Chain A
C-alpha cells in the first residue's frame, strides 16, 4: 500500500468519509465540493460499476491537477451511456473519437499541449477492457513505448458489455458470455487464454502501473493521485463489476468487487519502472466461491457443481496471493 491506513476506532479508513476523521483523511468522494466529473442523468444501468469507477478516478484526477485536465475516451459503454446526442454527462473537457485509437488520440493531445507549452494541463485516456486489451492494444502499447505523458485508465468489466456481452481478452476463465456459452464439456470462456494487461504494461517498463477496485475507494484515490505525480506513460486498471454482463444483483456491485479482491482473483498492486513495489493486503481472506456464486455468469459451475473448474479458479487466486504476497503480515 502506498499510503498509511488510519488506525481509527469505529470505521477507520474503510468508509468513504466519516465525520470524526480529519478532512485530509477523507476521500475526494466524501467532499461536498467534489467535481462529479460524470454527472447525474447518464444512462448507465442500475448499479453500474464503470460509471462509479469513472467518477472515482476522474474526480481524483481533477483534485490532483487543480482542475487542469482533459480526458480522451475510447468507444464503449462509458462513452455511449454518457453522451447520447446532444446530451453530455461530462463536467470535464472530454473527447471521443474511435474504439481503437484512444491512446493515440491522447498521445496527440499531449503532444499538442507540449507544443503550446501547457505543462499544467494533464491528459487522461480511458476505456473499457475491450478498447484496452483488444481493439486499442496496439495504440496503447505504442503510447507506453514512447512514454507519452498520459495516464491511461482501463475500466475492466471483463467483456464487451455495450454491444451485448461478448467475450474480451479480459474475460475470466469459465465465465459465460454471449460468445462463450455455458454449453459442452468445458462451458464458458476457455481456461488458459486471455491477457493480464497490468503485467503487460509493467513489461513496457513505464513509470507507474497500478490496479484498483471500486470496492476500495481510499486505495483507488491514493493510486490515481500518485499516478499524477509522475510524468510519462502511466496505467491504472480498475475492476468494475457489470450487473448486466455478470448477471449479478445491481445492489451487489461493490460487494462483488470486494469479494474479488478478498479472494485474491483481483490483486491490488502497484509497480514502478516495471517492478512491483507494493500491494494492498487482503483484509479477510475468502474462497473464490462466494465471489463466483453472486454472479449468474458462473451459475453453471454450481448447477451441477463443477469441482474441477472451481479448484482451478481457486488455484489462480492462490497463485496471485502467493505472487504478490497478499495475505496480511501477522503482527
Chain B
C-alpha cells in the first residue's frame, strides 16, 4: 500500500467528481428568438442574419442571404419604407439600425461585382407569370430557383411595373432597376414585353402552363368628379409618371397643382418641380398627420420647395382657375366641408387619388372572386378561386408597396412549387419575438447612426439625379455592427465568461456554445447577462 501522510486516508481527487448539476431546478437553453426587424419585413428577409454576415465584412454571404428571400436588395435599399427600422429594438436605445442603407450598399456592391444566382435543377414544369412588376419578377425569380421554367407576359414596353412607371428616377435610378431585373433574366426567365393577355384560359392552354401567377398591379387611375370646363389641363398622376419613362416628357404648365395625399401625389409633385414648374402646390383634403404618404417623403418634397394646402378640396376647375374649399376634420379624422371658398390659379392639375385593377382579361376565368374595385380575393396560399391560378401584389387585398408585392411573389412561388409537386407548403412557425426587454443593453456601446449623404437642394430641384446617396464599404460595416442581434447569439463570450461554474463550453468560432449540464447549477447568470437574450431558463424536469 502506498504510504500516505499522517492522518490521511484518501487519495487526492478532483472536484470534477462532484456533479453539481444535480442541484439544478432551472436549466439554461440556447434559443433563437425572432428579431423584430425580421418580424416586420414584408418580404420575409432574415435581416439579423444578413447583418451578422455583413458585420464581419462578409458581404457576399450577406448578399446571398438576402437573395434567399428577396431578389432586389439594391431596389429595396432605396424604395422600401423599411418597417424593419420602425420595429428595430435599437430605436429604443438611440436610433434604429439603418437597415435599408446597408441593404442598398450590399445590393449595389453585388451589381458592381456581378454576382449572380443560379437557377435550380429543372423540374420540367412551366409557370406563366402575368405582369413584370415587383411581384411577378419576384415570383419568377423564386420559381426559377426552384427549377421551374417561367414565362412572363408584360403589357408594358419595359419590365419593372410600378418600380419603373411609378417611382421616379431620383428615388430609383434606372440602371439599378435594369441590373437587378437582368439578373433574373440571366437565370433563364423569359419576359415577353408589349403583350397583353387577352384571354387567360386560352393562354394557359396554348402555352402548356402548369400554373399561373397573376401580378398585373393596379394601373387604372381612379377618377374624381370635378366639374370643369377644360379637362385637357387635368392629367392623372400615374400617366404623368409613366410618361417620364417614355419617349416624350409630359408637358406641364408653370403652375402645377397636385391633388392627393399619397406617395404617388408626392412623387408627382416632386417630378413636376424637376420638370421646371415654378410653383407646385399639393392639395389634400386632410392635414399632414393624416396623409397616407410617408412623412420623410413629404419632408423631402417640402425641402425641394413643393407648397402645400392641407385641408382643402378642389370644387371646380374653370380654365386656369381652381375653386377650392377649406375642409375641417371631424372627430373620426374625416374631412368635412366648411363652406369657405377661395380660388387658385393653375395651368395643370395632376390627380393622384388612387388606383384600380384592370381585370378585364379575367372575366372568363371560372371561380375568380373579383370585387368591384378589381381586387381579387386569394386564399392563404395566394391561390385564387381557380385551381393553379395564384395572384399577388397590388391586385390582391394588401398594402400596396414594392416590398409587400415582392413578398407576395416569394410566398406565391413557394405555394406554386408545392402545388406543382402535389404537396403543401408549410411555413415554419416563427419563434417568439425578441422584445426589447429581453436585451441586456448595458453591454452595447454607444454608436451613432451613419447618415446617408443627400444631394444638394439646388441640384435636387433641377435634375433627376438620385437624391439619397449610399454608404461606402466602411460606413456600411459600422452600420451593420450597430445591430444588437436581438434574440440570436453573436458569440460575445459573455455566457462563457460569467458562469461561476465553468459550465459553458465554448465550441469555437461559428460554433457557439453548449451547456455542460454535469456542472451547471442553474443559477441563471448566463441568461440574465446575455446581451441579446439568446438564453432561456426553463424548468428542469426529472
In the complex, what distance in Å separates the CA atom of A255 from the CA atom of B468?
43
Find out whether the CB atom of B497 lies under 8 angstroms from the CB atom of A41.
Answer: no
Give the chain A neighbours of B15 by CB distance below 8 A: 39-43, 82, 87-89
- Which residues from B are CB-within-8-Å of A42? 15, 18, 20, 501
List, in ascending order, chain A residues with CB within 8 A of B522's CB: 46
Establish whether residues A16 and B494, one from each chain, have CB atoms under 8 Å apart when the complex forms. Answer: yes
**Which chain B residues numbered 15 to 29 have a C-beta less than 8 Å away from chain A?**
15-20, 23
B494–A41 touching, CB < 8 Å: no
Bound Cα distance from A183 to B83, whole angstroms: 56
Contact with A along B495-535 (1 / 0, CB 8 A): 01111111100101100000010110111110111010000
- Is the Cβ of A26 less than 8 Å from the Cβ of B493? yes
Size of the B side of the interface (Cβ < 8 Å), in residues, is: 55
Partner of B500 from A30, A48, A284 at Cβ < 8 Å: A48
Contact yes or no, B13 A55, CB < 8 A: no
- A187 is an interface residue with CB less than 8 A from chain B: no
Rounded to whole angstroms, the CA-CA distance of A40 and B527 in the bound complex is 19
Is the beta-carbon distance between B525 and A87 smaller than 8 angstroms? no
User: Are A17 and B528 in contact, CB atoms less than 8 angstroms apart?
Assistant: no
Q: Is the interface of B mostly helix, strand, loop or mixed?
A: loop
Chain A, residues 14-42, CB within 8 Å of chain B (1/0): the string is 11111110000011011010001011111
Interface membership of A253, Cβ < 8 A: yes
> For residue B496, which residues in chain A have a CB less than 8 angstroms away from its CB?
16-17, 29-30
Q: Complex: how many Å from CA A10 to CA B486?
A: 12
A3 within 8 A of partner (CB): no
Q: Which residues of B from 481 to 500 have beta carbons under 8 Å from A?
A: 481-485, 490-494, 496-500
- Which A residues from 39 to 63 make CB contacts under 8 A with B? 39-44, 46-49, 51-52, 55
Docked complex Cα distance between A135 and B462 (Å): 83
Q: How far is the CA of A7 from the CA of B445 in the complex (A)?
A: 8
Contact of B23 among A19, A46, A254 (CB under 8 A): A46
Contact A40–B503 (Cβ < 8 Å): yes
A82 to B13, CA, bound (A): 12
Q: How far is the CA of A217 from the CA of B495 in the complex (A)?
A: 13
**Minimum CB–CB distance for B450 against chain A, Å:** 9
CB distance from A3 to the nearest CB of B (A): 15
Q: Give the residue of A9, A82, A251 whose beta carbon is less than 8 angstroms from that of B482.
A: A9
Residue A192 at the B interface, CB < 8 A? Answer: no
A15 to B534 alpha-carbon distance, docked (Å):
14
Chain A residue at minimal CB-CB distance from B493: A17
Query: Are A18 and B444 neighbours in the complex by a CB distance under 8 Å?
Result: no
Known contacts A19-B509, A40-B516, A87-B15; decide if A283 and B442 are in contact (CB<8 Å).
Answer: yes
Q: Are A253 and B13 in contact (CB under 8 A)?
A: no
Q: Which residues of A contact B502 (CB under 8 A)?
A: 36, 38-40, 55
Q: Is the CB of A251 within 8 A of B524?
A: yes
Is the CB–CB distance between A10 and B447 below 8 Å?
yes
Q: Which of A19, A27, A87, A250 contacts B17 (CB 8 A)?
A: A87
User: For residue A32, which residues in chain B have a CB less than 8 angstroms away from its CB?
Assistant: 506, 508
**CA A27 – CA B493 in complex, angstroms?**
9
Residues on B lying within 8 angstroms of A by beta carbon are 8, 10-20, 23, 55-56, 442-445, 447, 478, 481-485, 490-494, 496-503, 506, 508-509, 516, 518-519, 521-525, 527-529, 531, 537
Give 26 CB contacts A-B under 8 Å.
A10-B445, A10-B485, A16-B497, A17-B493, A18-B491, A27-B493, A29-B496, A36-B502, A39-B16, A41-B20, A42-B18, A46-B521, A46-B524, A47-B525, A51-B500, A51-B501, A86-B12, A87-B17, A88-B15, A249-B524, A250-B524, A253-B500, A254-B498, A254-B528, A283-B442, A284-B442
